[in-house]
Structure 1
């Protein structure tokens, strides 16, 4: 152990530095306002630099110590992200509210948050008291709350929930996780339950990566690319996005599929799809082996978790999904940054769907179900490039599969999607996406040439 200390100590010091910066971001910077944006950008950028250095230096750590240092780093950095409330997203306000509603025995799809039928459930931190203005409006305290129209009674109410007058968009497994996260705490507890849920997802994914990489005779150091990543820390834990849990289910399902356990794989992937829909992207590279069992199990799980909510709330289980797709520009075709530059109106959305379907068919035919990781990265990354979502945390699904495949070049996409969140400024997205394509293609060509030389 003493001989290994010079190799371990630099990595440990970098992880301590990342932890300190994470506490600084969460506890001191707090909610990112325009005034606090420069500090947040600088600190977050420093975390990325230290993360890159730590991933390089962990190569020098002896093999027997890698699982411990990767896991400890994930836990310590993750705990640091619990020292403050979500700072760039308000999604977890809805998560916690939906959990509160469910624990009161009410379907989260039945009422919108501002419905007066749920007024007895409203905690002050989500629905603070406002001050009436002379113009008939409502002035809300703090930085999170905004006035919204009540449903079921006239007037306004202050709430920290975004889109408070529309139904929830989240699928049943996500809703179940929200309810579990809130079950053991009183309503007065604010955002930490869903942040802890995010920490559990990140640590569980880290442990699964370490075990799977080792079992497949791959370098377990790649797990650090997920476990210590500032993007994962901030979005899955700090901002508590449920995408971290969806990514865990998708990864766990793929692990079972690689081991030939199609029914279990399909069930876990089904849980992922019923958490955030996006895990459907990991399916095509797995379908060459036992397609009926895998797909059938996934569909069965999705149907099974929806049935209780269909009984309780009818077609309201669809929630705000159609409105969200329209709001984000997918109905009108403006969301796909690359294709909307050359195709008119809805043709861009259709074009993106066709290209993604073609990509899925290609990987279905060519991918090895026993080694699907690189193909899954290609499908997930391709979907992100084609759909170019406005929200960076959608890329949380990509990172664990990057770690499994060693496709580090896709960090270009993660960074591109993160820049507007970190800097608070729009970026020339089309140019950025083209650069991502160039980086990915160049890395693929170089990897192919190196493989041919080795052979």
Structure 2
């Protein structure tokens, strides 16, 4: 039975009315994004700022108010509408989607996509029929493709239907639908109402980075969500399959593996008691690594080129020198630590992930149900904080986890990152360093507030979780 304070009590129709108003505002802002791509009105920072305010308001409402059978259709309709508005517009913030389609076109010409850079004379015959793709690609004259084998196979399938930027974006949005379905299924099995998927469906960074820019991270999110769902259902082969596909799409989901480990069944566990290695079900990691090997083997005709522009990208982004790691740069501002080497920071990262891995394995060993989501979220968030990415599409994979495990700290990180990236502080160098100072200060403040709220959970009196059985259409 739900308990609420009298002043806080609300009816479902009031929730729906509020969401309709907020949804109309978010749809107008999605349309404004398309308009801003052509001419300045309130600027991208204005659009992102107002979008974040409405998004947070919607989250507060959905977590604190009653819902009925009309609430989820409203959430879904607004989410779809916002993406449709941006779908047919040229991407404003990134041109990566053109490279996706180009890689598919190259494969249809029976050429390994890792073999040549787009500007190579060997691919000149593909330029004329695909001029729009070629003209809008970045790094076309010097960078081999960086995208892993699962992504390449997907590009091949999508361009088999239509080798265009618009259809590639459409496919990415459809993968978002798969993510939403997996989140709904997992929430239902956890006993949480499906309307909490609003945290994912209405997130403005997804409207921009998937709907408008068509980033491949939509595919990685879908595979991650499916891996989480099947981990909850204790299906090691399917968990490994989808985690492996996620890794072979965007690599970084590999960090989730410790959290998705499973114990052997109780009978086997008793037999292997006292053996820390043999007490685990190794089917999932074996499936992941088997898929990785098979994926790269399929494109291995080019030798080391199968790893594409990865090495060049690591150097270009300052990952080897340490120039891109905000926490290292911040530490180097401390008197006496100006020459702190990047190797020290890497060692610190190893310690952090080592500790998180031990915790994740302990939770996997001692707990059941959805307990693994906490360590999974922590591993993903730690990677982003330590890696300090320069581009917002790198952090979108946190949003599905946020929908499953709402966190003020991560909500602050995602929202503030999204907004700051649309301001003049997004320029690499001193401006971005200042932006990161603001970002990490806000995240620290949010973490402190969240810790206090966990210690004195007065706010829980205002949160509502309805019986999922009441929410069927």
Q: Could you state the TM-score of these two structures normalised by the residue count of structure 2?
A: 0.81
User: What does residue 321 of structure 2 align with?
Assistant: 332
Among candidates 96, 118, 124, match of residue 101 of structure 2:
96
What is the total number of aligned residue pairs between the two structures? 414
- Give the Å deviation of 1:357: 2.9
Aligned partner of 1:433 in structure 2 is 440
Q: Does residue 304 of the first structure (1) align with residue 294 of the second (2)?
A: yes
Partner of 2:110: 105
Distance 1:338 1:168 in 2: 30
Q: Which stretch shifts more, 174-183 or 296-305?
A: 174-183
Aligned to 2:144: 167
Secondary structure of the equivalent of 2:255? Answer: helix
CA distance in 1: counterparts of 2:247 and 2:443, whole angstroms: 26
Q: Is the 8 A contact 1:284 1:363 kept in 2?
A: yes
Question: Could you tell me which residue of structure 1 aligns to residue 414 of structure 2?
Answer: 414
**Contact preservation (8 Å) 1:338, 1:430:** no
In the TM superposition, 1:55-454 aligns within 5 A as: 55-58=59-62, 59-60=64-65, 62-122=67-127, 123-128=130-135, 160-162=137-139, 164-185=141-162, 187=163, 189=164, 191-289=165-263, 290-310=280-300, 312-342=301-331, 343-366=340-363, 368=367, 370-371=369-370, 372-425=372-425, 426-427=431-432, 428=434, 429-450=436-457
Match of residue 23 from structure 1:
31
CA RMSD of aligned residues (A): 2.4
> Which digits, 9 at most, give the CA deviation of each residue in 1:285-321, with x for residues without a partner?
22243441111111111212221101x3222111111
1:28-66 per-position Cα deviation (integer Å, ceiling 9, x unaligned) = 2226xxx74952211222222222222333454524334
Unpaired segments of 5 or more residues in structure 2? 1-10, 264-279, 332-339, 426-430, 462-473
Single out whichever of 217-226 and 335-344 deviates more from structure 2.
335-344
Paired with 1:217 and 1:124, the residues of 2 have a C-alpha distance of 51
**Secondary structure at 1:283's aligned position in 2?**
helix
Deviation at 1:74, TM superposition (A): 2.1
Secondary structure of the structure 2 residue equivalent to 1:260: coil
Q: 1:18 to 1:419 in 2, by over 3 A?
A: closer
Moved more, 257-266 or 95-104: 95-104
Pairwise CA distance, 1:6: 4.4
Work out whether residues 20 and 80 of structure 1, in 8 Å CA contact, stay in contact via their aligned partners in 2: no
User: Which ranges in structure 1 are unaligned for 5 or more consecutive residues?
Assistant: 129-144, 146-159
Q: Deviations over 1:398-452 (max 9, x none)?
A: 1101110122430121133323431132342145224313422431342244299
Residue 48 (str. 1) matches residue 52 (str. 2): yes
**Structure with higher RCO (Cα < 8 A, 6+ apart):** 2
* Structure 2 residue matching 1:358: 3-state secondary structure: helix
Question: TM-score, normalised on structure 1?
Answer: 0.84
Between the aligned partners of 2:210 and 2:156, the Cα distance in structure 1 is: 17
Q: Distance in 1 between matches of 2:368 and 2:125?
A: 51
Query: Quick check: 2:413–2:443 contact (8 Å CA) kept in 1?
Result: yes
